Amino acid sequence: MRSRQRMFAAVMRLLLKCLRLGRRRRFKLVRQAEQLWHYGHLCLRSLLYNSFTNGDVVLDSLFEPVYWLVDHVTRWFGVVFVALVIGLTSSIVAIVYICLLPLILQTYTPAWICWHLAYGHWNLIMIVFHYYMAITTSPGYPPQAKNDLTGVSICRKCIAPKPARTHHCSICNRCVLKMDHHCPWLNNCVGHYNHRYFFSFCLFMTMGCIYCSISGWEMFRDAYAAIERMKLLEKERLQVAANQTYYQTPPPTFSFRQRAFHKSVVYLWVLCSSVALALGALTLWHAALITRGETSIERHINRKERQRLQKKGKVFRNPYSYGSWDNWKVFLGVDVPRHWLTRVLLPSPHLPHGTGLSWDLPPCVTEPRAPLLAI
């Protein structure tokens, strides 16, 4: 009996010892897993730590694939947009020459004929010239050697010197002097050397569309009424063909040339009116920026700076603004009065003031530059 009790006690002690060892081993494995987890978490945070990280940085990082997709799609679609602009403009010019010009020559007085021929061809030349120059002219890029520049920062994306008013274009993947924006309709950046060409193209294209819309208003009304009449007669012709008797004759039909003429006039007026509204609003927006001596990017920067200084009781002054009138003269390159004719009203490939690297006072400015900050 005693031997059985001893054996049972020995077995129980052995079992308790095994359970104690298993529990210790289990606690040791859990402790090691926790240490590995904390160590991995610490390594990950040390690799991704940045004292400037905030919600905006995290949001930008999450949207980085979207930005990449937009940049590459815009770069590829730029060629399509340029072809679309050329195709639509060519179609309007063809309709004017084939459909409208013969009517103008037959019905208008000699004075009005001379006016339409002179203004129409001048406007067309200005549109073609400035669009070609805006596409083919480089916007201007800063040099890669920092020795040529003084007092510039370094672009954090292309690791190159970044002069004042220079910004990085993610689509072109390089810095652009006095960058305004990347225009997909030009497949090019709008910068220091082609900003005037871009604005002139928008202005003259808007003027041309308004001219076509106003000149073709009466023709548009007649063509639209003719198309409605064609639809009604086509409906009657189908009804007569379905219930035709010996004494009924189908109504007359319009020829293909008449249909094409009326539809072309309606297409011209609708397209020109739509472009005039959309492009006119864009032109007015850029005209307001030029009046203030700003670009599209600088407007956002100056607004934030203005709000920041306003909290401190200070007033922000744009250092690149010389006054409304002088801003336009600097932008258009008007140094003497005759330049309004030779450089503004006629095609001119003259270069803008300065190199885009430094911003000295242009010779056409009569008033001194305003200070950057004013108390």
Residue 254 in contact with residue 230, Cβ under 8 Å? yes
The two three-digit tokens of residue 314, written as one number: 């200070």
How far is residue 218 CA from its own chain's centroid? 35
Q: How many other C-beta atoms lie within 10 A of the C-beta of residue 233?
A: 15
**Burial per residue of 20-57, b for 16 or more beta-carbon CB atoms within 10 angstroms, e otherwise:** eeeeeeeeeeeeeeeeeeeeeeeeeeeeeeeeeeeeee
Cα–Cα distance measured from residue 168 to residue 367, given in angstroms and rounded to the nearest whole number: 32
Cα–Cα distance measured from residue 112 to residue 78, given in angstroms and rounded to the nearest whole number: 39
Residue 374 in contact with residue 339, Cβ under 8 Å? no
311 in helix, strand or coil?
helix
Scan for tokens 């004719």, then name that residue.
341
Residues that are catalytic: 183
- Which residues make Cβ contacts (< 8 Å) with residue 183, sequence separation at least 6? 134, 189, 190, 198
Cα–Cα distance measured from residue 277 to residue 205, given in angstroms and rounded to the nearest whole number: 11
Residue 304 in contact with residue 332, Cβ under 8 Å? no
The two three-digit tokens of residue 65, written as one number: 């694939």
Q: How many other C-beta atoms lie within 10 A of the C-beta of residue 95?
A: 21
Find the angle CA(346)-CA(350)-CA(355) to the nearest 5 degrees: 150
Q: Which of 316, 319, 328, 330 is nearest to 364 (CA)?
A: 330
